[in-house]
Every structure is written in C-alpha cells, then in structure tokens.
Structure 1
Amino acid sequence: MVRAAVSNKDDPDTPCLTFRSLTLGILFCTGLAFVNQFFYFRANPIALGGYVIQLLSFPLGYLMARILPRTRFRTFGWEWSLNPGPFSIKEHALVSIFAGPSASAAYAIDVPVIIRLYYKIELGFATSVLFILTSQVIALSLAGFSRKLLVYPAAMIWPANLVSVTVFRTFHEIQDFGGRISRTRAFWLCFASSFVWYLLPGWIFPALSMLPLLCYIAPRSVIANQLGDGFRGLGILAVSLDWSTWSSAYTGSPIACPFPMACNMFAGFVIFMWIITPIGYYANSFKAGNLPIYSMGLFLPNGSSYDISQVMVNKRLDHIQYRQYGPVRITFQFAARYGLTFTSLATLLVYVALYYGKDIVQRVRQARIMDEDIHLKLMRKYKEVPHWWYIVTFVITFVLAIITCHVYHLMPWYWVVVGTILPFIFTIPIGIIQALSNQQPGLNIITEFIIGYARPGDPIANVTFKVYGYITMTQALSLVGDQKLGHYMKIPPRHLFIAQLVGTIICGFVQLGVAFWLIDTVKGMCTPEGAPFTCITTNTFYSASVIWGLVGPAYLFGTGQIYHPMIYLFLVGLLLPIPIWHMSRKYPNSLWTYINVPVIFNSVGSMPPAPTHDFVWFFLGSLLFNCIIHKYWNGWWQRYAFALSAGMDSGLAISGIFIFAALRSVEISWWGNMYVGSVPHCPLSSRGFQP
C-alpha cells in the first residue's frame, strides 16, 4: 500500500515553509476551525477534513505563485521571498498539516459547553482558553516524544495518510500509469460525481442515507423497527446509497483501511451488535426491556427520561434525593459497550506486549539505531527537532494546566499530574494499533472510572480529568498521524513543529470562540428547541459525566449494583489474546495471523452515537475495493483507488457546504425528506419491546 502511494524520491531544495504556506495555513486553520465547530453541534454534523484543505489550497497556492512579486527580503539573517517559484508539493502538504488540528472539532470543547449549559456554571472565555490550549499543547509534546516509535518505523504505515499522499501527488506530479485516463482526471471525475450525487441524500432525498427494509416490511412491529433502524436500532438490512455512510466520521474511508482490519472491525460489530445485543436485550438483561435497544439516553427504571436536577444540590449529587427519585438506568447495549471498553483496554495491553513488546524494548534501548527504510534515509538530510523543544513546551503547558485547574476549581492539582501520566503510558500501544488499522481504542472509560471512584459526585472534576487523561492522548495521536504524513512528504521536521504548534493554538481560540458564540446566540442550544443545534455528541459527553461523575461508578458498577458484572470483562481482555497469539505462532500461514483482538473489541467503541449501518457499508466498501478489485484488477486499484476515495470524500464535503450555504432555505416537502433521524421510517424503534 505504501509503495503504491508514496514517492521514494526527494528534492531538499523544494520550498516548504514559505510566506504562501504560512498564509494559507493560517487561513485554512481559521476557516475550518470555524466551520467544523459550527457543524459539530448540529443534528447532522459534517466534518470537513484534510481533503477539503488539500483541494482548496492548491488553486489558491497556484494563484499566489502567479500574482505575487518575486522580490527577496532578508529578516534576521534569513532570506525569503513572497514568491519562491511554483507552488510546491511540500508547501501544499504543510498547509494541510498546519490546518490539521482544525480538521475536526476539539473534543475538549465539550467540557466548557456542558459546564455552562447543563451544570449552569459560568466559565469565562479566558479560563476556557487556558484549559483547551494546555491539553492540546501537552498533546503536541507527547506526539514529539513518540515519533521514534510511531513515525519513523516503516511498519507504522498510518493507512489514512496514503489517501492524502495520493491527492498531493495527483495535483503536483505528471505520472503515466498506463491507464486510459490520468489519476488527476480520475480524481476530478469522482469529485464531480460525488458533489452532484450528494445533492440527493444531503438535500432532495435524505432517506437515501438509510432505507430500513425491515421497517418497511413490518412497520407496526416494534422488534422489526428496532432491528432495522440504522440510527436508533441495529441496522439490519438498512440500505444506504450515501457515500457519507460508507466513509463516515466513525469508520473512515473503506479504501484507506486494509481489508484484514476491516474484517476484524466487522466481526466485532456482528458479534456485539447483531448477536450479543439482541440476545441480552430481549432476555431483559439488566431489566432493560422497557428501554430502547440503542440509545445514549439516561432513564429511570420505568423507561422515562432521567432529570438530574431532581438529585443535585449545589452542583453535586444528593444521595438522599437520589434514593428517593430513583437510580439511573441505561440501555443494555450502552452498558455492555462499557464492559467491552474494559475488555478492549486489557486486550490492547496484552496484545501489544505479545506482538510488539520485543520491538518496542529494542527501539527504546537503541533509539538511534534502527532499520532505515528509504523514507527515513531521505529524511536524514534535514535537521531533527531537538528533544528540548518538546520538553520546554511540555513543562510550560503542564504548569499552566495545574494553575488553571487549581485556581478555577476544576479539580485538585494532583489529579492533573495523574491525568497527564495516563497518556504517557498508553499513547505508544494505542498508537501502534491506530498506525496499523486506523482504529483508536479509547481511554475514556478508564479515566472516568478512576476519577469517578476517587471523587464521586463531582462531574466537573470527572470531565476535566477525562480531558487530560484521554483527550490529550487522542489529540497527540492525531498530531502523530500528521507527523507521519510529513514524513511521507519529506517535510523538514522543524517546519513541521512550527506548523503544528501555531495551528494548534489558532484552532483552540477559534473553536472555543465559535462554541461561546453559539451558546450566547442560539436559543435552546443543545435541546430540541435549539434544532438543528441539538448537539448529539455533546449530549453523549454529558450523559457520561452523569454516569461516571455525578452518580459515580460505585452506584452503577460497584459490588451489588446492576451493572457490576461488566467489570469482570477486564479479566476476559487479559486472557483472550494469549491463545490467539499462540495459534498465530503455531500456524503462521493461517487465518490466525490476521486476527487483531483489540480492533475487534474496539470496533463498537463509538456506539452510541454512531449509526449502526455505517459499519455494514464500510465493510462492504472495503470488500469491494480492497479485496475484489485489489485481487482481480490490481493495476486499476493501484492507479485509481486512492484517487477515487479522495475525490468522493472531497466532493461530498464541498457539496455539504454548498447545501448549507445556498440551499438550506429552500424547503422540499415529500416522503423522502420529511424525517428527523429516522422517525417516520421506523416510528417504533425508540420504544422498549415490553409494554
């Protein structure tokens, strides 16, 4: 896969960190941070990722190369020019990396949002900025410390980056692949087709995103509705003709994921969502039969929604009122997913120790001596980023994090220390899994579990600890992925450091500003009254803060509590990889070698709120492109597969912007678009199966 996408040549004289790349980087970082944070809170969020940056920055860079003067300047001994020549592939890649932090909404933004909206505590903009930036910049330091193990080794391929590399080479290199059409033309054909087609599921016929056949066959059957709904049910026989379902924010592109990893993901999905969930739910396990089959909501035992204001006094849990009002209940699937998260984490540690332990120890002991592939050899021409740059960055932001949390009573300072230690432990093993499979097992449940037991009844401390213990790691791995992209594109490491640091800071300010602006201007923000700003992901974040912070794990997972059996799945995770590892060593040419236990268990980590049918069509897409076409039409696959993926994703993203900007005020009322989520098509899916 790497050989098909990445060039094994480099010209060190190619312009990289220039006036053009800095200008475009700041422009796109600011613009995408605004747009993605704006869409993040909507009922149907759209994430404009790296493909949009790559697509739009090229014509602007080309235009700047045509019109800017070539006058040279000297500043502090550094000679530079507004226009050093043609817009280069390295400038193009650096713009994308610069804007990388804005390619998705910052998960940490949910903390000040739920503090203001749900817990009714005023948290000022300055305090929130310090909170967001310290967690994000600590992540940059952690990414720098991890590069020798997660960026430089050839085995760490980071598959999603291969599509981006293909886009850059498509724009900048004239290549003869022996096909009837060039890869550039193939990209634009796919882009145009995707743009036009998305007008149907995105505006005219939204039902194309999910056609639930079981609901149409038996519309009055609660069970058929629950099994067939792809949004509020299990997604069985839910057909989708929408590329955003095939290549969703929860799965990534099916073409960018190796087929064996897609098989592992789908196996985990089938086992958990189509076998375990219906068996447990219809057996009324955890007394969840009167709750929905698939929901992130909080309920009373009778199935009605849970009102936390009935059990809170002075922003903390009142135990007497909690006992009087009633215990929190969650769906069987939601509870079991928490259990599988325990399994996933334990499995990850054992799996990495068995499969990669020796290699990690060897690289740690001999960090400067490693087998160099062609890309690492080419990168040796450039000055490395000194470790002290990352150390100083870490120390400054770590001290600011302690001050912020202590002064503004977010949580005690010593829990900042504990929370920062966790990502240092787990970034390497989790990064290895992501570098191989595009999947990232999460620490969110573990961080919530730790602080939930340590400080029960304190939801603010819970979500704050979660940011430093979990979200910092996810941001670090995102930055590591961009460092691998820079490695593939032969970006000088010091240029990469500057771009990531400045981009992270700009992104934090802009995204937080958008969140505060929406809170202050949208009436009923994050409620049905504020539609379309109903904040699905933020509501999930809030539910977790109630479960693990306000109520606390002792009331839900403690000894004698209803969900206590889920804790023992941690032991299952410790043992399960061992026999599979043994069989893969005993039979090295068998299917045992393709089984990746952490990926299997992590495949449902985003459920809820992820639509269940996304995973079905992601797998079918990978089966089509990375198995059938790759096997029988390999030449076509090498020429066009990544160009097709990039074109489809880019066309969809631009079409989404066009629909929002130009067509949202044009109403079309008919059967195909008269629904929110999936209600008219599966009207009974949100009910319990028991009366």
Structure 2
Amino acid sequence: MVKQVSEIEIISNTTSHEKQYSFGEFIKEKQEDIESSNVSEEELDPDVEELPLIVREIVPLEDDPSIPVFTFRYFILAIIFIIPGAFIDTMNSYRTTSAAYSIFFVQIASHWAGKWLAKVLPNKEVRIFGRFKFNLNPGPWSIKETALITITANSGATGNQGTTPLSLSEVYYGTKVNGALAIFYMWAIVFIGYSYSAIARNFLIYDPQFIWPSALMQTTLFQTQKKSDGDSKLGSKQMKVFFIALIGMSVWEFFPEFIFPMLSSLAFLCWVAPRNKTANFIGSGLNGMGFLNLTLDWSNITSSIMLSPYWIQVIQFIAFVFGAWILLPAAKWGNLTDFKYGLMSNGLFLSNGTAYPTNKLLTNDLRLNQTALAELGPVHMGAQTAWNMFFAYASYISGVVWVCLFGYESMGNSIKKLYASFRARKTSDKTLALSINEQYTDRLNKLQSKYNEVPQLWFLILFAASFITLLVIFATGRLFMPWWCMIVGIAFGALIVTPLSWLYALSNFQLAIGSFDELLYGYMVQNRTDKHPVGATIYGAIAGDAWYRAQYILQDQKIGHYMHLPPKAVFFSQIFGALVGIPINYAAMRWVLNTKMDFLNGTKIDPLHQWTGQSLKSYNTKAVQYVILGPKILFENYSILPYGFVLGVGAPIVFYILHRLFPNSRLKFRLWNTTVFFSTMENFYGNLSTGYFSQFIGGTVAMFWAYRYKHELWKRYNYLLAAAFDTGYNLTVLLIFIIFSSGRVINMPNWWGNNEESVERCFALVD
C-alpha cells in the first residue's frame, strides 16, 4: 500500500486560475525524508498503517472535537479576506498579466490576525434574536479557525467564470445584463458545481489512497504555523520577514506600475537600435518576441516561480522559446503561414489584414448573414491564435492519455479499491448502516466519525435551487442560450466530475476543458437559425464550473478531513464564501467595464499593454468561429486544427515507449510531460512576451539553486515570501486605484522612463 502511493507520478498543469499549485518536488522531498527515518512498520498502530506514508508524516493524527470553529472571529476575518480577493481576481482577468491573490497570504495573515483578536476581544456573551447567543472571544485562537477561514477564502476570494460572458456581451455586442440576473446566474453555476461534489466525495475524500497533493501542501503549512505558535522567537522572525517583504514589494511596484513603467520591459535590443524594426520586433516584450527581454515588474513574474517544481518550469520555458522565439519569427519572415497579418493579435481579420467586421455576420434575428460572408470573404486568424487553438485540442487529449499511460499501475489499485468499496455499500447491510467515514478503518476516518456527516439532502437542495434558477433564466430567453443546452451542459458536467476529480486527487493534474466545451456547443447549435455568439461562453461557464467548482470544494473538504474540521462546518463555509464573494465579483466587473471600456474595446491603447482584455478578446474570437461560422466552416478554413487531437494522442505514447525502453535514462522521459508543454503553447502571448525569461531565471534561483543547496532556508521562507510578494503587488494595485483612479483620474507625467510613444523605447514599432 505504501509502495503504491510513493510511485504515483505527480503531474502538474499550470492554468489561468490563480490558486492552482504544483507539488511534485514537494512530494518527492517528503517521501525521501520519511523513507530515511527510523520508524518501523511494527511500531505503527494498524489504523495508522492504513494511511499512505506521506499522509501519516504530515497530517495530525489526534483531534480535540471541543475546539470551536464557528466563532465571531471567524466571520469577521472571513469577510475581511474575501472582499479584496474577489475584487482583485476579477480585476486581474481583464489584465494581460497579474499576480494572484495568494491563498498562502490568507493562511498566514488570518492566523496572525486571529491570534491578535483573541488577545484584544473581550470574553463576553452577546445575545441576539432572543434565545440565540454567542461569545465574542471563546478562547485561544486555534489552527482550525485558520483552516476554516482559508477554505472560505478558497470559495469566495476568487474570480467567477460567469463574468466572462457578461463582459463579452457588453464589450462586443452592446448588451448589458441586469445586475440581479447576473449575480443569480453566477451564484447558480457555482452552486451547481458544489452540489456535484456529492457525486464523488464519498470515495475521493474518505478513501486514504486519494491523497490530494494540494490539500496536503496546505495542511503542511497549517502544521508549520501551529508548531511556530509554540516558538515565539521563530514566529516573530517569520512575521518580521513577511511584513518586510510585503512592504518592500508594495513600495517597489509603484515604479513599474506607475512611476517608471520602463522597468516592466527592459528591451536591450531596442536600446541598441531604437529605430530598427527588426531589432525592435526581436527585443520588444510589449510588441515583439521578447528575446533576452527582462522585467522588474512582479506582475510579469508572479509567485509561480516559487511554487512550481523546476522541471515544470523548464518545460514551460521550452514551450515559450518554441512559441515566441521560433514560431513567431517563422510566421513573420518564413513560410509557416501565408496570412502574415495579425501575427500578435487574437482578433479576426479580412484578407487585407484589416479587422473583420464580425457584427455584419449576424442579422438582426441572430442568423449568419451568408450574403455578408460572401462579400467580406473568409475569416482569418493570426498565426499565433491558430496554433493556440491547435495546441488546446492537443493538451485536452494529452492530459487523459498521459495519466492513463504513466499512472496506470498506481491508479489501477485505486480503481479496484473504489469498486470494492462501492460493492460493499450495496451488498452489506452492516456497511450500509455506517456513515461513509466509518466504512474506512484508518485513523483519520475514525477521528472524523465523531462529527455529523453532511446529509445528501443538502446537496440535492443546493442542486435543485441552482437548477431551477438557471432554467428560469434560460427558459425566459435572458442569457443568449437555448434552455436545453443548459441541461446538456449540466449533464455533461455530471459525467466528467468523478473521473477528472479522481485524476486530480491522485496527481494534482487539472484538465482544462474550456475550448472543448465551446467546440461542443458549436456543434450543438450549428444548424440552428438563431444563435448568439455569447452562448458558447455561457455554456462553457456552466459545464466548466460543474467540474472546476466541484474540484475546488472536494479539495477543500479534503483539507477539512486532514485538519479534523466538522464536515457541516466545511460545507457551510464554502457556501458562505461564495455568497459573499460573488457580489464583489460583479462589482469588480462593473468597475472595470465602466472605467476601462475604451481599452477593452480597442478605442484606446493602454501604454503598458496591461488593460487589453486579451482573454476576453480570445473568447470572442472563439465565439465567432464556433457559433457564428460553426465548426464546419472553421475546419474547412483551417484543416490542420483537428490534427491537434491526433498529436494529443500520439505524443504521450511516444514518450511512454521511450520511458519503458530506457527507464533509467538520465533524460527521465517520464518528466517530459507533453500536457504541460501543450498547455503552455495554448497560452496567448499577444503583445506581451516579457516576463518569461525573467521567470525562468527566478525559478532557477528559487526552485533549483535554493531548493537544492539552501534547502532548510528554502523550506522556512519560500512559501512565506511567495505570499508576501504577491500580496505586496496586489496592495500596490489597490492603492494606485484608490489614489489615482477612484475619484479624479491622475496620470503619471511622461518622462524618459515613461515615454509617451513607447515605454520600452522601441520606437520603430510605433512609427
């Protein structure tokens, strides 16, 4: 059993969602530490021995059920940490680059804030609504309260997929959706996903073989904090380092973000030849390849360099080099493509390179205007957008094939255990009488059996309320999509939630399904006479959140399992987080659309190329291709695209054969993860290729040199500094908004470091 877990390949996939982490090196490190210990199997209790080796080393195996978790302090701090996270994550979705609202920051800061509240709040009971009362300060602050606040923030202090179609309809099609309708739609798609967690949780949460690496990582930090509480000297030192780093990054970020924007893209080739178009294109990070371009702006680097294993970062950098330093010049100066326009744009074009008037392709009753299509000619994409779409198809298939090939042996045992558990529940009267965690005999499930389980009825009620809400919205024609497509999306989500969550629980691999969902929607409405292009993104948000939100709630429930939190408390905290966070998501969306619309719709150009809404533009490009034109016309114009599926199948097989032929090769073919490569190739660099070279340098320092040669220092401060840097950047963005944008707009005067033509001083690109 122990051997089986230690052989699991930890597979990582870095997506646009800011709370996704990679833990391959972390798992490997902990396994090596454990295997070198002197603990013998004979010394372990039988219920402890059932746990995987790494779990028994990290997770606390004792519990005190009397510790309160739903306290006044919890509610106050949960709301405080949700609001900025929900706003920042939504705002960041419209920017070209950004640093995520760090969940590590929530873990660290809420713990310190909670201990402070435990010192200053009076031990006083407050009575409200007659008989109901609560204590302002029921006792010492506990790590359980920290864990519950973090779980709540995971649910609420994040973005929402629903803002994408709502923004798309307003920016590109001039339709503003009613605010109340928008919020209820956003609540419903999230709660559909939460209710779907009931399908998989009985097996994926309680079966000890499903270790959930990301949940294990956060549990490690919780345990580190708990141990630090007993060492005031260490805790004080870590707090000092955290706040010094936070304040330092906050002060620094005022320079590249406002005062001295040239620091965001140091284009050395442009300095040598500021009026040479070739040198400018090669060296520019804002309008070119970004060759040897460096950045000193944390938003272009982010804490990913301190979280992802080094081998993941190597693959990502190779993919960037292939995409930006090989394919871009091949498309611009070579024969990679006959269509030379829009190389670094994700828009759509006429044959002469001018923007395609996509609004003319739709009639007033939302039908394809065949006459206009014949007059205007084929719809062209820039070469980069075309290969983004190609590799998106490859990454989807590659993810499934790679896990099936490389994870077969370790996952095969889990499948048998899953099936045996299912049969036991159906055939054994005694088993049926037990709660789900009592069906497993390991120590963690024995500890959790002291708490009441979440009734299945709660999930059914949540699903019914969400389903009825969505049905009313679509049946009344309020949101651009046929009601029956909503049912298909929900049904499709129900089918994939268990296998994809199962893969994630074992390997930490999150399969992105957005492009596939939108392609599927295109096929569903291809023969309809009336079809709104925003419908593809509406469908993708419903089907996508059915999987993504189910995965997040399952991961947080596993954290609750590891930290011995009452399951009902975890369930409530996740609902509470979404109830608070989603109205903030909508408010942030409204602020961006009200203040940055000219940048988003292309009327004006942001000098820093940050407020581009290029993600939104990509969604519109796919909407036109999948819905207005349809998959048939798309694949007729770009016959190479379906071969992305073939590549996704074939590439993992090649590396698997190489791995089996040369299992001890120093090339380590099992680490050449094609899914990570294809997923990175799927990223649209657009007019911003700065940051990637700097990321690789920073990742080499943090995850190779420091991890290997300064390991004790790395373990103590790596994640703490990652949280501090991200938080410092986000604090600066908020301060710039409050000081310079919330009231009267104040722009930084132009000077040498903020040139009006080009902040990089790549003047040939703007001549």
Shift of 1:161: 7.5
2:489 maps to: 419
2:618 maps to: 540
Shift of 1:528: 4.5
1:268 maps to: 319
328 and 363 in structure 1: CA distance in 2 versus 1, 3 angstrom threshold = farther
In structure 2, distance between residues paired with 1:382 and 1:618:
45
601 and 91 in structure 1: CA distance in 2 versus 1, 3 angstrom threshold = same
The DSSP-based 3-state class of the residue aligned with 1:230 is coil
1:14 maps to: 67
Determine whether 1:332 maps to 2:407: no
Shift of 1:351: 1.8
The 5 A counterparts of 1:679-690 are 680-683=760-763
Q: Is the 8 A contact 1:33 1:103 kept in 2?
A: yes
In structure 1, distance between residues paired with 2:516 and 2:235:
53
1:468 maps to: 542
1:629 maps to: 706
Q: Is the 8 A contact 1:526 1:535 kept in 2?
A: yes
In structure 2, distance between residues paired with 1:88 and 1:462:
45
AA in 1 matched with 2:352: N
Shift of 1:394: 2.2
1:295 maps to: 345
Shift of 1:280: 4.2
Shift of 1:372: 8.7
Q: Is the 8 A contact 1:350 1:574 kept in 2?
A: yes
Rg larger for: 2
The DSSP-based 3-state class of the residue aligned with 1:48 is coil
475 and 218 in structure 1: CA distance in 2 versus 1, 3 angstrom threshold = farther
Q: Is the 8 A contact 1:159 1:256 kept in 2?
A: no
Shift of 1:359: 4.5
Q: Is the 8 A contact 1:423 1:470 kept in 2?
A: yes
- Report the TM-score, using the length of structure 2 for normalisation: 0.78
* Residue in structure 2 matching 1:215, options 270, 287, 302: 270
Q: Is the 8 A contact 1:299 1:330 kept in 2?
A: yes
* Residue in structure 2 matching 1:190, options 241, 245, 250: 245
In structure 2, distance between residues paired with 1:170 and 1:180:
8
Q: What are the superposed Cα offsets for residues 338-370 of structure 1, whole Å, 9 maximum, x if unpaired? A: 011111111112122222452552353145799
Q: What are the superposed Cα offsets for residues 435-467 of structure 1, whole Å, 9 maximum, x if unpaired? A: 688764421211121121221353133222112
2:512 maps to: 442
Determine whether 1:672 maps to 2:722: no
Q: What are the superposed Cα offsets for residues 634-661 of structure 1, whole Å, 9 maximum, x if unpaired? A: 2222222222222222222223323332
In structure 2, distance between residues paired with 1:523 and 1:608:
21
Q: What are the superposed Cα offsets for residues 566-606 of structure 1, whole Å, 9 maximum, x if unpaired? A: 11120121122123223334444440222222122112333
Q: Is the 8 A contact 1:258 1:437 kept in 2?
A: no
Shift of 1:290: 2.9
In structure 1, distance between residues paired with 2:144 and 2:504:
25
2:398 maps to: 347
In structure 1, distance between residues paired with 2:680 and 2:440:
32
In structure 2, distance between residues paired with 1:90 and 1:50:
16
* Residue in structure 1 matching 2:162, options 108, 119, 134: 108
Q: Is the 8 A contact 1:158 1:484 kept in 2?
A: no
Shift of 1:220: 3.6
The 5 A counterparts of 1:116-195 are 116-147=170-201, 156-159=211-214, 162=217, 166=221, 169-170=224-225, 173-174=228-229, 182-195=237-250
* Residue in structure 1 matching 2:357, options 299, 307, 310: 307
Q: Is the 8 A contact 1:20 1:64 kept in 2?
A: yes
The DSSP-based 3-state class of the residue aligned with 1:459 is coil
1:557 maps to: 635
440 and 674 in structure 1: CA distance in 2 versus 1, 3 angstrom threshold = farther
Shift of 1:148: 5.6
In structure 1, distance between residues paired with 2:441 and 2:694:
38
Determine whether 1:28 maps to 2:81: yes
Shift of 1:498: 0.5
In structure 2, distance between residues paired with 1:324 and 1:571:
35
AA in 1 matched with 2:601: T
347 and 666 in structure 1: CA distance in 2 versus 1, 3 angstrom threshold = closer
The DSSP-based 3-state class of the residue aligned with 2:734 is helix
Q: Is the 8 A contact 1:411 1:464 kept in 2?
A: yes
1:616 maps to: 693
In structure 2, distance between residues paired with 1:686 and 1:143:
51
Contiguous gaps of at least 5 residues in structure 2: 1-25, 34-56, 422-435
Q: Is the 8 A contact 1:235 1:613 kept in 2?
A: yes
In structure 2, distance between residues paired with 1:209 and 1:161:
35
- Report the TM-score, using the length of structure 1 for normalisation: 0.86
Q: Give RMSD over aligned pairs.
A: 3.7
Determine whether 1:405 maps to 2:505: no
Shift of 1:631: 1.4
Contiguous gaps of at least 5 residues in structure 1: none
Q: Is the 8 A contact 1:50 1:164 kept in 2?
A: no
In structure 1, distance between residues paired with 2:557 and 2:687:
28
Shift of 1:685: 5.4
AA in 2 matched with 1:227: I
In structure 1, distance between residues paired with 2:682 and 2:164:
18
Q: Is the 8 A contact 2:262 2:760 kept in 1?
A: no
The 5 A counterparts of 1:454-493 are 454-456=524-526, 458-493=532-567
Q: Is the 8 A contact 1:52 1:654 kept in 2?
A: no
In structure 1, distance between residues paired with 2:488 and 2:766:
40
Shift of 1:136: 1.0
In structure 1, distance between residues paired with 2:601 and 2:715:
47
* Residue in structure 1 matching 2:292, options 233, 237, 240: 237
Identity over the aligned pairs, expressed in percent? 26
AA in 1 matched with 2:301: W
Q: Is the 8 A contact 1:385 1:493 kept in 2?
A: yes
Q: Which moved more, 1:78-87 or 1:135-144?
A: 78-87
In structure 2, distance between residues paired with 1:238 and 1:160:
36
AA in 1 matched with 2:392: T
In structure 2, distance between residues paired with 1:523 and 1:276:
32
117 and 630 in structure 1: CA distance in 2 versus 1, 3 angstrom threshold = closer
In structure 2, distance between residues paired with 1:26 and 1:386:
26
Q: What are the superposed Cα offsets for residues 100-151 of structure 1, whole Å, 9 maximum, x if unpaired? A: 3343331211212222342233532333233222211111123443446665
1:358 maps to: 412
